[in-house]
Amino acid sequence: MGKKGKHSWPAALPAPRMPKDEQERKRRDFVANVSHELRTPVSIIKGFSETLLQDFDELGEGDRKKFLEKIQRNAGRLHALVEDLLSLARLDSPSADFGKEPCDLRSLINRAADDFKSRKGEEFTKLIIEIPHEEVRVQGDPQRLLSVFENLLENASVHAHGLSKIAISLEKDGVHCICKVEDDGQGIAEDDLPRVFERFYRVDKGRSRERGGTGLGLSIVREVVEAHGGTVRVQSQKGSGSAFLVSLPLS
Ligand code: ADP
């Protein structure tokens, strides 16, 4: 897409898999990351609730409200984190049970797009949807596949700073179908590109946290897509936008 007219995209990078011998170190890093992510919201909730209890009578109504809002916001952060960790744990489990059924990806994409538009309201009139007339059938878990499209749309709206539009498209390519979520925002620097699918990796930590991001969204996307026998790749150019491509086997 890109605001500055046609340009050629660099080659799409596949989401890299970690080599086996790195798995133990990654597991330890993961535990350290989870602890680190939990620490700040837990400290804030603890500190502000203690102050509220101790100084309740001395505090003005404005301060009480401010403290309660901080507690609520950080409880929301904890909730999002725990939900994402549970999703990952379910996907990691060797007995992960995918209730696979025939799904028409067109209706899942339409649903994700409609929900997205009603959540964002007027802010998002520039969502372009390009889907084929005929059914695009895959064998899969509709809820999990829906969460993939929701996640990619949300990411574009949150992270693609300066964007003017988002396009979500679907096409068949032989025995696969490809869903592309593309934006014309700030893009992702080449050095960060191979890492965005890692758990807890964020290009801009402050912006992600401030917008309620857990840093786990794209790793969940990857796990879900791979559990369906598919792949997810990213193409991006700093300043011209990003495109996330999900390829799934047709049923
Ligand atoms: P979160 O959204 O919770 O921060 P994700 O795993 O979904 O975590 O994404 C990882 C990082 O990839 C984000 O923090 C952001 O820096 C970057 N990113 C994802 N999508 C885009 C996009 N469309 N444009 C620019 N950066 C993106």
Give DSSP secondary structure letters for 43-96.
HHHHHHHHHHHHSTTTS-HHHHHHHHHHHHHHHHHHHHHHHHHHHHHHHHSTT-
Give the number of other CB atoms < 10 A from CB of residue 25.
10
Residue minimizing CA distance to atom 12 of ligand 1: 196
Closest atom of ligand 1 relative to the 199 alpha carbon? 6
Per-residue pLDDT band at 206 (split at 50, 70, 90): confident
What is the pLDDT averaged over residues 5-31?
A: 72
What is the phi-psi region of residue 31: left when phi exceeds 0, alpha when psi lies from -120 to 50, beta otherwise? Answer: alpha
Residue minimizing CA distance to atom 27 of ligand 1: 159
Cβ of 208 below 6 Å from ligand 1: yes
Cβ of 242 below 6 Å from ligand 1: yes
Residue minimizing CA distance to atom 23 of ligand 1: 156
Cβ of 214 below 6 Å from ligand 1: yes
pLDDT at 208: 76
- State the chain's mean pLDDT as an integer: 90
Residues of each domain in the chain carrying CATH 3.30.565.10 = 98-249
Topology classification of domain 98-249: Heat Shock Protein 90 (3.30.565)
CA angle 34, 39, 42 (to 5 degrees): 120
Cβ of 234 below 6 Å from ligand 1: no
Closest atom of ligand 1 relative to the 208 alpha carbon? 4
Pocket test residue of 84, 166, 208, 210 for ligand 1, highest count of atoms within 8 A of CB:
208
Cβ of 147 below 6 Å from ligand 1: no
What is the pLDDT averaged over residues 109-117?
A: 94
pLDDT at 94: 74
Closest atom of ligand 1 relative to the 209 alpha carbon? 4
Q: Which CATH class is domain 21-92?
A: mainly alpha
pTM of the model: 0.85
Residues of each domain in the chain carrying CATH 1.10.287.130 = 21-92
- The whole-angstrom separation of Cα 161 and Cα 33 is 26
pLDDT at 125: 67
Question: Is the per-residue pLDDT at 18 higher than 90?
Answer: no
Residue minimizing CA distance to atom 14 of ligand 1: 202
